Structure 1
Amino acid sequence: MLNRILIVCVGNICRSPIAEHLLRESLHGTDIAVGSAGLGALRGHSTDSAALAILHRHGHRPQPHHARQLTVELLHEANLVLVMEQSQIQSVIRLAPEARGKTFLLGKWQADQEIPDPYRKGPEAFELAYELIAASVAAWAARIRNRR
């Protein structure tokens, strides 16, 4: 049964908080918990101001977020792990080899699209990341809802 989804990026302050918020909204009304973590998390930091700005620009009001480090325990708790880049799949598997079968690119349904890191880049980079994340989340949410 799918009831815990973990979204992973590097710092857990840009891409994964955006994806966490959008997926949580898309799965509203289900019993699925959505969380996020970072491979090199900026522990305790809030969502990056540019990431918040792009969410607000698109009409979203995300919950407060505090970055957390990816751990073996978080991977064990999750039924599905979604990452932004192919190399991150390998990082997850190095940390917890048993997570191999449940770890996928967030952009899997968009021809394995990777989502570039917008951190410390301009608004265009955040807009691109948002658009890629939104499309990827919509595809995952549709598949998840259809399986329930």
Structure 2
Amino acid sequence: MSVDLEREPKKTVFRRILIVCRGNICRSPTAQYLFQRRTNMRGLEVSSAGLNAVVGSPMDATAMQLLSEKDGVDGSTHRAHQLVTSMLLGADLVICMEKNHIDEMTEFAPEARGKIHLLGKWTDGRDIPDPYRRRRPVFERTHEMIVRGVESWMRYL
């Protein structure tokens, strides 16, 4: 009896994905919502946090507006969370925006190093710059980079 691999459900080792940036109000929530939208039928848990989160704050208005305009996603319920060690240890995969984020997370949770990766790992491996307090064109460029990064991860999830 042959197995039709196209019809078999996709299995993954990643069930809990954590997205990390600096303040958890621009980049990581944008990536979180895009991952959630793309994986919503797969039973994955996607969350986000910031290394220096603006705890309890909503998404930056420009980031939220772009998410709505370009992707049809409502980010109005987002509230920023501070990254804590238990989040790193509880995640199966940690995706961050900058190489220095990897260094910072590894410093306080060295045992998590193997599961921390850049969002741009499968594209150009470059950092995704922080658009916070910048003009809309910077947010637009950052948003495009996040979309490409999310898309590049989909084959592995």
Aligning the two structures, in what range does the TM-score lie when normalised by the shorter sequence? over 0.9
Q: How does 1:1-148 map to 2 (within 5 A)?
A: 1-63=13-75, 64-144=77-157
Runs (4+) off by over 4 Å: none
- Change over 3 Å in CA distance of 1:31–1:84 after alignment to 2: same
| Structure 2: 5+ residue stretches without partners | 1-12
Deviation at 1:104? Answer: 0.4
Question: Secondary structure of 1:108's match?
Answer: helix
In 2: Cα distance, 1:143 partner to 1:2 partner = 9
Name the TM-score, length of structure 2 as normaliser. Answer: 0.89
Structure 1, gaps ≥5 residues long:
none
Q: Name which of structure 1's ranges 60-69 and 40-49 shifts more when overlaid on structure 2.
A: 60-69
Superposed CA RMSD: 0.9
| Alignment TM-score, normalising by the size of structure 1 | 0.94
Structure with higher Rg: it is 2
- Deviation, 1:61, is 2.4
Residues 59-111 of structure 1: per-residue CA shift (max 9 Å, x gap): 42234111010000100110000010000000110120011000000000112
1: distance between equivalents of 2:65 and 2:116?
29
Q: Compute the displacement of 1:142 (Å).
A: 2.1
Cα offsets for 1:24-64 (capped at 9, x unmatched): 11112001100000000000000010111111221422341
2:57 alignment partner, SS class: coil
Distance 1:94 1:19 in 2: 24
Secondary structure, counterpart of 2:73 in structure 1: coil
Aligned residue-pair number: 144
